[in-house]
Structure 1
Amino acid sequence: MDPSTAAAYDKPVPRYTSYPTAAQFDASVGPAEHAAWLAGLGGRPATLYLHVPFCRELCFYCACHTGAMRQPATLDAYAAALVTELEAVAAAARDVTVAAVQWGGGTPSQLGPRRLIDIGRRIPILFDVRPGREMSMEVDPRYCDRALVDAMAMLGVTRASLGVQDFDIGVQKAINRLQSPEVTAAAIDRMRAGGIGHINVDLVFGLPGQTVESLSRTLDQAIALAPDRFAVFAYAHVPWMKRRQAVIDERTLPGAPVRAAMAELVSQRIEGAGYVKVGLDHYARPDDALARAVAERRLRRSFQGYVADETPWVIGVGASAISSLPQGFSQNAVATADYLAAVQRGAFATARGIAWSDSDRLRGDIISALMCHFDVDLAEVCERHGAAVPPLLAEVPRLQALIDDGMARLDGTHLLVTERGRPVVRSVCAAFDRHYTGAEGRHARGI
């Protein structure tokens, strides 16, 4: 991507892990709506997502809902609240089948083996868990000992996602995350020996002090770990949302042309190592479920990234957790104290959300197809939603500029994101986003 194009598209734009995005959530959805929506699942399969908003220490780059926590009493109270909420979900969503379980955060392992096992053992008691389901867990390799691996194996964890971000010592110091390749490799070996057969590695480009050359070295070291999947995200500098990022000197952040070169390098190196590109920022081995989902056009985009789950429904449990249900999105209170207080009162902790309109469902399917497969048959989607293509196109005037720039091509009713446009697919999606304004201070940059 040439510098002028990179600069033109380096504007705030959503990541489109959902549509409408979380920026549109409001207090119109509360505990009563959430309970009714859970009841409306009617026995359909859903993914169970458990959010643990704690880490051993904070990384400056992180924009997740998490905080440093080591106090046993708080960890005990949070683990108990997760069990209480799981019990309330099971009572509301009768006969729901759990198709997959995801532990996210933060760092779920910060709860420690005993608490994890106490929570995990309740899941098959409360829910009909599908045989052969995947259970994934996010893990900090720096704090992954044998006791944790044994607990993960006892829970039935099948996939672990390891945060790496970058192996360059200068970058690590800038983001407050010191983690050597040797420590990371040892954690992977420990988990594989413990029977956790699938490993994901997360990297980030666009970090402070990072260069194309240093990123290249990190890619060499990460590829040598031979994970099943990579997730390589562009750093989102949003200090107005996450105050911890304010300690990062913006002058040390790579500019848009360098970030574009980094994105190209990532694709070249990881695909060159035999991985399949999955959507915008994931990579998987050809025999991995995620790669098969791409080939079979079953790939889905969720708040957890790209997933191969067959169900679009997600039940979120824990502080800030988001549920995706047939009627819309609902989100728990973000602050841990507010979440704990609500659960201890015997109520759902739902604080906000959004009910889908017919337009949201139509546009959401288009955006999902673009984010997952870089093309969409507008006629097919419109027919499914009882709509017509001409009125839809009349409502998306920003699309023509993207076509004129060579970022997208419209052949009849088939919309294709070109190879040149794939790095800015989020901007193509934004053309269909009726809520998007492009305002500064609301979303991460587009490059």
Structure 2
Amino acid sequence: MFTSSLARYAQPVPRYTSYPTAPHFHGGVDGACYARWLGETDPHKPVSLYLHVPFCDQLCWFCGCHTKQVRRYDPVADYLDALGAEIALAARTLPGRRHVSAVHFGGGSPTVIEPDDIDSLRAKLDDAFDLGPDCEISVEIDPRNVDHDKLEAWHRFGITRASLGVQDFDPDVQRAINRRQSFEQTQAVVGALRNAGIGSINLDILYGLPLQTTETLRRTIDLAVSMRPNRIALFGYAHVPWVKKHQSLIDQDTLPGPAERFDMASDGAAQLAAAGYVALGIDHFADETDRLAVAAANGRMQRNFQGYTTDEAETLIGLGASSIGKLQQGYVQNAVSIADYIRKMRAGAFATARGFALLPSDRVVGRLIESLMCDFSFSIADLRRTFGSGVDHLQIEVARIAAEEKDLIHFDGDLFLVRSEARPFVRTIASRFDRYLATDKARHSTAV
């Protein structure tokens, strides 16, 4: 139905892991402001933690993360000292000793950390917070740089979920993105994780990569499904060389076009559905018994900077260079520069470089957009129960957008519902409510 309208609907728009999105963060939110916000949090409510490890053994050309390649361990060790200092500083600033509901390690590649330092990090977290047996601990794993000793250390750490990057198993595609990783190598790590009792395995696959076709993607998905992961994320590759200079090493002429990307996304989703995975949001798939699938079925799935999650903590504390946190008052982001981050930590100060203080209207639109991204719908009545009269100004706007996009939307005066065939374009629909997008100087990836 929409393949002839891709130019309109698959336009460059944000991924909406936050609202307002990161390009609108500004330097008016600093470390003193962040400290005040932390001090105002409810001491009886849990927090969640995101720890960013901005190092890799090898830089993949497709990568859009804040990371750098390292050949020595010294920079990693120095960084971990600073990370430990930030953990302690955040804990001291929070009112009361806080229970942690979720911990997520991202990167870069957290698996560059040596076993002794993995143990040390757990000890530092235990000194600062309460990580109980109910805490979900997830780690992004690069199968190319993890060995038995590291896996044993992460097992001691207490991880409950591991996320492995696959991208594509085709050798030509792998050469084009500078990431050589065999199926056998990946399968061995998945097996080792399962033998260690890790209960949840996620595999990340990308579509829209150079030299990739629907057929190479199909073979990759078949191989991924053969390992029976609990979750599979099928992301669209974001080619943004104006942001990530190393992406210019990819030959743009070898990238699939909009129609090919659309076919990859839709064919991949159908293939995963046929394999027994439930579609969640725009790019996640899970076994129907997985806790994320259960949360989605119950309308409790959340969306944050790590994507879709079951974590309901209202305070997300970002730790490490470039990491982003969210509090009731707004968003904060640490300095992107590793050197600047370490310098701040050695001085005993927060490394907050920018952020955004939320207005009441931002909270309303943020909830609306999150509902669209998670459930492909929202109810004005539900929003009004949460935000009261702050929702009144939306009624006319919602009706106008629904009328203008009647091919995409069903609206009965209360429920705003994205039609099933239009779900691939939910980011574009969400962008219609984004009051900051017109002032956004950032360039975004395409919606599909």
The TM-score, its normalising length taken from structure 2, stands at 0.96
Looking at structure 1, the residues matched to 61 and 441 of structure 2 have their Cα atoms a distance apart, in angstroms, of: 21
- Aligned mates of 2:26, 2:75 — CA distance in 1: 28
Q: Deviations over 1:274-297 (max 9, x none)?
A: 111111111111111100101111
* Residues 361 and 390, structure 2, Cα contact 8 Å, conserved in 1: no
Partner SS, residue 316 of structure 1: strand
Match of 1:84 in 2: 85
State the partner residue of 1:172: 174
Give CA deviations for 1:28-82 in whole Å, capped at 9, x if unaligned: 1110011111112222211111000011110000100111113222111111011
Which residue matches 2:46?
45
Distance 2:241 2:74 in 1: 30
Match of 2:429 in 1: 428
**Equivalent residue number for residue 29 of structure 2:** 29
Distance 1:151 1:193, change over 3 A: same
Equivalences for 1:60-79 in 2 at 5 Å?
60-79=61-80
Letter in structure 2 aligned against 1:233:
F
Aligned residues: 446
CA separation in 1, counterparts of 2:211 and 2:63? Answer: 16
Q: 1 CA distance for matches of 2:248 and 2:121? A: 35
Residues 232-282 of structure 1: per-residue CA shift (max 9 Å, x gap): 110111111110111112111111111111111111111111111111111
Match of 1:192 among 191, 194, 215: 194
Note the alpha carbon deviations across 1:394-420, whole angstroms, 9 max, x for none. Answer: 34687246523x111111111001112
378-387 or 114-123, which moves further after superposition?
Answer: 378-387
Q: Is the CA contact (8 Å cut-off) linking 2:23 and 2:440 kept in structure 1?
A: no
Distance in 1, Cα, partners of 2:331 & 2:70: 28
Per the TM alignment, residue 195 of structure 1 is displaced from its structure 2 partner at its CA by 2.1
In the TM superposition, what is the alpha-carbon distance from 1:389 to its structure 2 partner? 5.4
How many Å separate the matches in 2 of 1:418 and 1:397?
Answer: 16
1:236-255 equivalence runs, <5 A: 236-255=238-257
The answer to whether structure 1 residue 6 and structure 2 residue 6 are counterparts is yes
Which of 375, 378, 386 is the aligned partner of 1:376? 378
Partner Cα separation in structure 2 for residue 401 and residue 232 of structure 1: 31
1:175 CA displacement: 0.4
CA distance in 2, matches of 1:426, 1:103: 26
* Residue 84 of structure 1, CA deviation: 0.3
Identity of aligned residues (%): 45
Aligned-pair distance for 1:390? 5.7
1:214-240 superposed Cα distances (whole Å, 9 cap, x missing partner)? 111111111111101011110111111
Contact 2:402 2:410 (8 Å CA) reproduced: no
In structure 2, C-alpha distance between the alignment counterparts of 1:338 and 1:23, rounded to whole Å = 20
Q: Which residue matches 2:274?
A: 272
- Is residue 101–residue 131 contact of structure 2 (8 Å, CA) maintained in 1? yes
In the TM superposition, what is the alpha-carbon distance from 1:94 to its structure 2 partner? Answer: 2.8
CA contact (8 A) 1:301 1:372 kept: yes
For residues 276 and 430 of structure 2, the distance between their equivalents in structure 1, rounded to whole angstroms, comes to 28
Residue 10 of structure 1, CA deviation: 2.4
Residue 112 of structure 1 corresponds to 114
Give the letter for the 1:79 counterpart. L
Q: CA deviation at 1:440?
A: 7.8
Of the three residues 298, 301, 304, the one matched with 1:302 is 304
SS of equivalent to 2:436: coil
Answer whether contact 1:11 1:438 (CA < 8 A) is retained.
no
Query: Contact 2:331 / 2:355 at 8 angstroms: preserved in 1?
Result: yes
Matches of 2:306 and 2:88, distance apart in 1: 23
Distance 1:402 1:61, change over 3 A: farther
Structure 1: gaps (5+ residues): none
Name the SS of the counterpart of 2:393 in structure 1.
Answer: helix
Asked if 2 retains the 8 angstrom alpha-carbon contact of 1:379 and 1:388, the reply is no
- The alpha-carbon distance between structure 1 residues 307 and 139, as it changes in their structure 2 partners (threshold 3 A), is same
CA deviations 1:69-127 (Å, max 9, x no partner) are 13222111111011100000000013222111111111011122121211111112211
Q: Which amino acid aligns with 2:252?
A: E
> Mind listing any 5+ residue stretches in structure 2 that lack a counterpart?
none
- Contact kept, 8 Å, 1:208 with 1:248, in 2: the verdict is yes
Name 2:226's counterpart in structure 1.
224
Distance 1:279 1:438, change over 3 A: farther
Q: Do the aligned residues in 2 keep the contact of 1:333 with 1:339 (CA within 8 Å)? A: yes
* Structure 1 runs, 4 residues or longer, greater than 3 Å off: 393-398, 438-441
* Contact 2:23–2:442 under 8 Å retained in 1: no
Counterpart for residue 19 of structure 1: 19
1:2 Cα deviation from its structure 2 partner = 3.9
**Residue 326 of structure 1 is aligned with which of 303, 325, 328?**
328
User: Is 1:134 the equivalent of 2:136?
Assistant: yes
Q: Which of 258, 275, 291 is the equivalent residue of 1:289?
A: 291
**d(CA) in 2 for partners of 1:86 and 1:48?**
10
| Other-structure match for 1:446 | 447
Counterpart contact for 1:238–1:441, Cα < 8 Å: no
Q: Determine the C-alpha separation between the residues in 2 that align with 1:399 and 1:241.
A: 31
- Structure 1 stretch displaced more, 322-331 or 41-50: 41-50
Structure 1 residue 446: Cα displacement: 1.4
User: 2:363, 2:245 → 1: CA distance?
Assistant: 34
Paired with 2:291 and 2:397, the residues of 1 have a C-alpha distance of 36
Which of 208, 214, 226 aligns to 1:206? It is 208
- What is the root-mean-square deviation in Å for CA atoms of aligned residues? 1.6
CA contact (8 A) 2:40 2:95 kept: no
Contact 2:399/2:413 (8 A) holds in 1? no
1:355 aligns with 2:357: yes
Q: For the structure 1 residues 284 and 31, does the alpha-carbon distance in structure 2 shift closer, same or farther, using more than 3 Å as the test?
A: same
Equivalent pair of 1:205/1:262 in contact (CA under 8 Å): yes
Q: Does 1:57 align with 2:58?
A: yes
Instruction: Name which of structure 1's ranges 4-13 and 382-391 shifts more when overlaid on structure 2.
Output: 382-391
Amino acid at match of 1:346: G
1:300-338 deviation per Cα after TM superposition (whole angstroms, max 9, x unaligned): 000001001122321010001111111000000011111
Aligned to 1:418: 419
CA separation of 1:398/1:138 partners in 2, compared to 1, >3 Å: closer, same or farther?
farther
SS of the equivalent of 2:166 reads: strand
* 8 Å CA contact 2:51, 2:106 repeated in 1: yes
